Structure 1
Amino acid sequence: MYPGYSAEDDYPRLEAMLAGADPGDGGAMEPGSAVTGGTGAGDGVLGLAGAVTGATPAVRLPLVHTDIGEDAHRVDALLEMGSAARLAARVDELRAWGAQAVVWACTSASFVFGREGAQEQVRELAQVAGLPASSTSFAFAHAIGDLGVEQVAVAATYPEDVAELFTAFLKSFGTEVVAMRGSGIITAAEVGTWGWEEVRALARAGDHPEAQAVLLPDTALHTAAYIARLEAELGKPVLTANQVTVREGLRLLAHPVPHRPRLGALFSTAAA
């Protein structure tokens, strides 16, 4: 479940990359250059990248768009964006796609509730949908554990007061945040216009020598095409919101994690 449309085209790209395709050069894709194919799009749902055959079933990543409400990285707006009523309103569409698990693909409108509130959010979503559920905030916590890192830097698009709530969420899992940089961007719509140069500058500015990984926590930010290049430049793992959201979906499905180096260190370990 994805709020709005800002970086929706990351998901067909991620689906294609999971299937072993190379939908671009890992850096040249610009916002709006969606990779589509397969069944075609329905109302508010992306077309699906073509599936591949083999022993491991292909993963499909249909999007169900939730009503974003007010597009603002402000605590009050984010609490409303992630409210139970807004998520429940699109559950029927989710079921129509035959989903086997659901991830609330929004970082800020989950961590803003705090750890306990975010847990209640996904618990209610799971109950209403009748499916295993999680959110991008928990996806980051689990991805940090999967990498085995303890010290991270946060390079956020958000205003600093919102970014601080993300660091507090991570700290509740025992992660040490050695650096945090907010960018003061208010709307997801603006974030969705960023391309390689802006994403690169964000990651480089947010990095820290003591950080074992750099986190870019906004699902409105196009990152799928850039992960491998970012890691090569920084010399360390980079975790991005849409990337970890997909990994979280695989976790919910108990699906093997394919070896996909173009998706970064998080997908570069042996399949498990």
Structure 2
Amino acid sequence: MDFQPTEDQRALRAGVRELLAGRYGREALRASVDSGAGVDRALWRELGAAGFFALRLPESEGGVGLGLPEAVLVFEEAGRALVPGPLVATHLAAGAVPGAADGTAVVTAFDLGGPLVAHLDAADAVLGAVPGAAAVPAGEPVRSVDPLTPLHRVAERGDASAYREEGALLTAALQAGSALRTVELAVEYAGRREQFGRPVGAFQAVKHLCAGMLVRAELARTAVRAAAVTGDGGEGAAAKLLADEAAVRNARDCLQVHGGMGFTWEADVHLHLKRAWVRAEQWRTAGEAEELLARELLG
């Protein structure tokens, strides 16, 4: 079994990175933070037009006709760019919810395992909603740690467990992309920030931090891609565990590399950490993944 990306897969990844760099670069990210906008409808439609949401929809249904291995490559890039919005839920809803495939509809999900729903204010539908209930239930705004992931508390709890396996793996891909990006941010800053007449990256303690970050990110990326190829539930749970840990710990270590600058609002590092905290609670938590792995090992 070959786990190396094919030429077409590498071209797909490069194309998505180019699209996001041009459409949702750092200036657009900071503008979103300043405005507090969680979902940019124009960007959503552009992603839809590029096939982001219809990537795994069969060509006979107007989709791209690719598979889960290609999807995780695309979601890595979205995680790297910190694209806000319910990307996973809208992708999963393609073909089932009108407008999801082409990005004209925003679909969120009951993926937080409780009464909280992300991006409810921008959603046209919610995956896992109670049959016969409103497409978008009423909700009470709740303060969110991530400025680009608004949360609402709803009275009716839905059940999106039918989408959990794929949702968890795609979320793990977002986390892996974020972990890889914080490695880049740490190395870049360590190379240009000087202390005692030398770049801080020349000091052994900083080198160790960056090396540890790279190992975690690559391990998570490998686990996510392997799970996408094999389709094994246990491997998917392990991938979510590793990716959550990589995203959170790498963001924390990136803060350390940046020193006092990392704790300022102007730095982007805190955005990666806050998004990683939220994603770690989506679709499958660490506790749920550990329980699944334990059952498989004991079975």
- TM normalised by structure 2 equals 0.29
Q: Give the structure, 1 or 2, with the largest relative contact order (CA under 8 Å, sep 6 or more).
A: 1
- Greater helix fraction, Structure 1 or Structure 2: 2
**Higher radius of gyration, 1 or 2:** 2
- TM normalised by structure 1 equals 0.31
